[in-house]
Structure 1
Amino acid sequence: MRDLPGAWRRTAHGAGLLDADGRSVPTIFAEMSALATRTGAVNLGQGFPDEDGPAEVLEAARAAIADGVNQYPPGRGILDLRTAVAEHQSRFYGLGLDPERDVVITAGATEAIAAAILALTGEPDDEVVVFEPYYDSYAACIALAGVHLVAVPLRAPGFAPDLDQLEAAVTDRTRVILVNDPHNPTGAVFDASVREHIVRLAERHDAIIVTDEVYEHLTFGVPHVPIATMPGAWERTLSISSAGKTFSVTGWKIGWMTGPAALVDAVLSVKQFLTYVNGSPFQPAIAAALRLPDAFFAETAAALHAKSRLLGAGLADAGFTVLAPSGTYFTVVDAAPLGVADAARFCRELPQRAGVVGIPLTAFVTAGHRADYASLVRFAACKRVAVIDDAVARLRRLRDQSATTR
């Protein structure tokens, strides 16, 4: 078989896609989900719900299939969904969008992020600033674009960026500041001072802000404020979100990007050569989802918050130090009180020790920074209450094991 081109091999190694021998490296999520299946452990690792979304949204997809909405949609996405996205941005955030020009529908948020990075960077010295820990696809997309990742650390317990470190990271080489807020994996929600500083730095260095807001409706007692609403931000901001997390339809992969028409067009020029289009019958269903009443969004956030508190209490009872999240599916804990110094090793042993799967935070950071997160583990609360109760009961074994070794 012909060898992979050298440029691809270099990029794949840099993104962690290939190991030193050129073999494909599975993501930590694939590895841990496979481990959960093999051992029968409760999977609190990968962030997907185990309950379906709203019945009326599922029925809208079935109706679309039955009505023949099964061929390619328009390249920008069906107009009704683009209109629903524009209505959503106006309803929740006061942003006025033209659904014909300022919105594009994507194959989930991940494709939108990839297309944005590929469209907005490309020179060898270009840099993309990210907040670390970061969703693992960020590093892969940046490496595939052939540009440089610059990490701004978010450190426990609060996971707020140091503004001086942020200022040092953003330079005239910065093409994109990639902001994930609410933040995966830490569950942090950035405050106004961070948002304002990001906008000031983007203006000073003529950078584009790309936001990943997939958890926008899953915050706990603190409002989500899109950076695009900040003074001076709109003209240089691309906002990305998706349906999967809010509506518990992660397998549908329907996302969207909004922003100034010129920036959206630049991303669309790349996106058309990735998936081109996707999910025809799911697009009208998500249009219906975005038009659900305010009570749906409030109740969804409240239900997840209750699950997060339930999981957090169980993790604390098991002996972890819990770093309570302000949003998202996830709760981060410090396993150091249980004698853990290597979270990656601990997570690979955890299915046998306690019958539960988690994800080490070191999977979300660059190799040189892993020591700063060595004992931290992420667990997902987006499961049925009975599943969380089962996981909590299993995790108590760790407390009992710790007691017997003292």
Structure 2
Amino acid sequence: MNIQKNAWAYITRKKHRTFIIFLILMFILTSLFTCLTILNASQQIENNVFKISNSSLSITKNDSSSFAMKDFEQLKSIKEIEDINPEYQSLAKLVDHQVIEGEQQIFREDTPEQLSNVVDVQATNDSQRDLLFSSGVFTLVAGQPIQSDSQHHVLVHQAFADKNGLKLNDTIRLQLVDTESLNVHETMEYTISGIFTGKKQESYTGLSSDFSENTFFVDYQTSQEQLRLNKDQMITNKLTLHTDSVENLESAHEQIKNLPIDWSKYEVEKNDKAFQKTLTALQSMQQIIEIVTNAMILGGLIVLSLILVLWLRERIYEIGIFLAIGMSKKVIISQFILELLLVSLPAAVLSFILGWQLNQFFLTDFFNSITNESIGSQMLPIENIGDNLTHFGMAYGLLLVIIFLAVMLSCSIILLKKPKTILSEIS
């Protein structure tokens, strides 16, 4: 007997029942599709948040003094670390320009000549990852940031540039100053590659370098040249280490602490507070979605099984006839499964369209509601048709499992009873 023909005949004759099954399957499939998409997206968003939050590890000396880069060459052997950014902070005396003056909470009468007209110099290989820029305290409004390949480049504050009539590609001459010995190093010329604005939290020491407007960012390599240090002599006040995920950050932290270094002199700090704050909301959402997904699977199985049990009682005569003409239980159950599969195909088309729309809503409004809207668009994963088809395929696979289990549960009465018993009940 052709079960495909029987299955098609049943679902076309029983239009009311077929429509009810259609709605149930569409609801289950749409819900599973949405839940799986959001679960996958939340993991991608977690990785994006980690990168945007500029989470990192930092190594500094306990007394805040500088230390030799060569002492930490072993960091390069830790594969989880994707970027090592040395930072060097110093004072520099302006040769041809004037600093921004302001009211000081501390007044120094004994300021030596070497510390007059000085600016705060931050040497780095990547100014975008500097906390002042990544947190939004400073904002680059013109030009390019300092990068690892920058040479003789400097970023200056807008107010400083305006006072001295400076613009992009103009040059500034600086003399680095050793704050302990007050030795003034040779003059080095820097080209203005960027201009920024903003106001940082200022601490006052009575020097002009205390003000945000007198803060400069230069490339690390040139700062070391100005100090007349070769590759083996380079120094830093702070090493900032970046990884591509929170798991690698934790792993790198453990490995760093196991390096043969006198850690009584140094401090290793995890800079991931911004990430952890957002992660709490994301993890709570993930747990909710996982619960909803599991509830949908269990609920769909129960509802579908109960409906099939009710309808199975009405088809007991049909089953009895099939058994009487010699059709096996396996074939009968296969027909019931095939009926649901045929109904699931048009339901799948509508579920994909409806689910896609729901996913767009949840991945914008919902995620923006639990995160900072100003960076929400940067955190959202890019969902293409391929990703959606993958998630939908997984959801449809789960639906097939639900259909199979529901049919097996509802047909247990057939599996447990002998054909003779079923036929006798009909009579």
Normalising by structure 2, report the TM-score. Answer: 0.20
User: Structure 1 or 2: larger helix share?
Assistant: 2
Which structure has the higher relative contact order (CA within 8 Å, separation 6+)?
A: 2
